[in-house]
Chains A and B, each alone.
Chain A
Amino acid sequence: MLLRRIYQFLLIYALGLAGLLAVKYLAGLSDYVIPGFGALWRTGGEVTGRYAGDVLDTLGVAVVGQVVSVLLALVIGILGRQTTWFGSFIKVAAYNVQAYPIVAIAPIIFILLGDGFLSRLIIAAMICYFPLLLAVVGIMSEPVTDIEHFYRQTGRMRWQLEVKIRAFENLSKLTTVVSGSATLAMAGTIVAEFIAAGAGIGYSIRIALYQSDLAKILVALFMIGITLSVYQGMLERAGQMVKQVWAR
């Protein structure tokens, strides 16, 4: 799973790069607009070490933001699964709030909290949180009637058992959702850094943009992609291990 993710990313990155170079040579564009392969290689040698540190900095924020989002989505999803007015209220609120673009309120967070770690974390968590919440509420609200029937009939159903049954029956779906949310957390952190922060790979991309240095941006994209592929592969592996241990 991990290797497949890396292969897939390398393939897509190579195709994208080949497309860019094709456009460059077909349209006769200068190295200033789209750098050649040699310039890319040189830039890679110069900035890879620094960008690796930046990407890890961003990933650290994204991971913490994702963990916060997953925990929050689980708590709210479990509360929102009920058919009471409170459950309905949570569901309606989640659907409505997620429709609002979180990036649009990012400047407010930066104005209030500054351009440090906390702002990046909050924006990453918020971007990651709502899709997670919708998925968790969807899974937790859906009864597994053929299993739950017995426990309801005999008065054995407790909320813990209900959550356990629904989580177990949808473990693959949950793993996919959590793994997919890693991309959102990373994207959220990069967006936050791109808007106003003073650290991370998003900040480095912003500087490269001001310098109109596409080679640096392409190296940064490579670093982001490879790191995210490894992280998602590890999450999927962890999901498989949880399922194996649970069903042992």
Chain B
Amino acid sequence: MQLDCRHIHFRHPGTEQLLFEDLNLSFDGPGFHAFFGPSGVGKSSLAHIITGRLRADGGEVHFAGARPPLYTHNQERLPDWSSIGRHLERITPTAAVEKKNSLVELFGLSPLLKHRYSQLSLGQQNRINLVRYLVQDFQVLIMDESLANVDEATRVQILLAMKSMFPQGLFIYISHNVMEVATYCRRIWVLRGQEKAPPAVLVQGRDLYSGQHLDRSALERVMLEIMNAA
């Protein structure tokens, strides 16, 4: 599974400043990858271009998969006319019911299934939103700050669970948490803006899986590399 962005040019309508000029990057297969960079550098815009929600002024996105990439962000809502449990039932394909039950358990959402979305905390809302994407039949899932407002321990548990449950999925994680990105992601594309060349730099993350030992000094080197690149 290969996802390539080739020679992407883009400026937001009505602005003079180019956001991307000849941006090239690629993801070479399943796993946990990331976009990293300061606010406003174009991480979400690039996600929108990849999923077809924005049209690039030039260049192309090449993805050979059967299903288009999905994009989820932390400001989505579920309608409040029924409980989150009922919502999940309705949007879960029959083949994914077992998976849904496991995810609900792993994400710590079991006691909340009878609640309405508006009755949940922000972290709980983000978790339930992520679950409904994970039960879809996806190949690529872009997660834009999807675990914002979730506590550190639960985030780690969720990331490790996702990595073991979806070995065939290609995830692109957008986050400002450098340690998290460096620890759990394999390919980290650091977006740097137009004033620096090249506009995107690839850093190899530690790609930690459940049960593996984390080499602290190697992690620090990756984090330094990311911070220097940004």
**Are the CB atoms of B79 and A168 closer together than 8 Å?**
yes
A195 at the interface (CB under 8 A from B): no
**Closest A residue, CB atoms, query B68:** A153
- Tell me, in angstroms, the Cα distance from A108 to B54 when the chains sit together: 52
Interface string of B71-107 (1 = CB under 8 A from A): 1110111111100000000010000000000000000
Contact of B81 among A149, A153, A168 (CB under 8 A): A168
Q: CB distance B70 to A147 under 8 Å?
A: no
| Bound Cα distance from A91 to B73, whole angstroms | 32
Nearest CB in chain B: distance from A151 CB, A: 8
Q: Is the CB of B132 within 8 A of A247?
A: no
- Asked if B116 contacts A149 (CB within 8 A), the reply is no
CB distance from A173 to the nearest CB of B (A): 16
What's the least CB distance linking B33 to chain A, in Å?
Answer: 19
Interface string of B184-197 (1 = CB under 8 A from A): 00000000000000
**A146:B81 contact, CB within 8 angstroms:** no
Contact B76 A247 (CB under 8 A): no
Contact with B along A156-191 (1 / 0, CB 8 A): 100000001100110000000000000000000000
Check if B132 sits within 8 Å of A150, measured CB to CB: yes
If A153-B70, A154-B70, A247-B116 touch, whether A146 touches B75 (CB-CB below 8 Å) is yes
Q: A153-B71, A154-B70, A154-B136 are in contact. Are A147 and B79 (CB under 8 A)?
A: yes
Does A246 sit within 8 A of B, measured CB to CB?
yes
**Binding site of B, secondary structure by majority: helix, strand, loop or mixed?**
loop
Provide the residues of chain A in CB contact with B116, threshold 8 Å. Answer: 247
A150 and B81 contact, Cβ closer than 8 Å, known pairs A156-B91, A247-B116: no
B133 at the interface (CB under 8 A from A): yes
A150: chain B residues at CB < 8 Å are: 72, 76, 78, 91, 129, 132-133
A165 to B132, CA, bound (A): 18
Chain B: residues with CB nearer than 8 A to chain A?
Answer: 51, 70-73, 75-81, 91, 116, 129, 132-133, 136
A binding-site residues for B, Cβ under 8 Å: 146-147, 149-150, 153-154, 156, 164-165, 168-169, 246-247
15 A–B pairs (Cβ distance < 8 Å), ordered by A: A146-B75, A147-B77, A147-B78, A149-B76, A150-B78, A150-B91, A150-B132, A156-B91, A164-B79, A164-B81, A168-B79, A169-B79, A246-B81, A247-B80, A247-B116
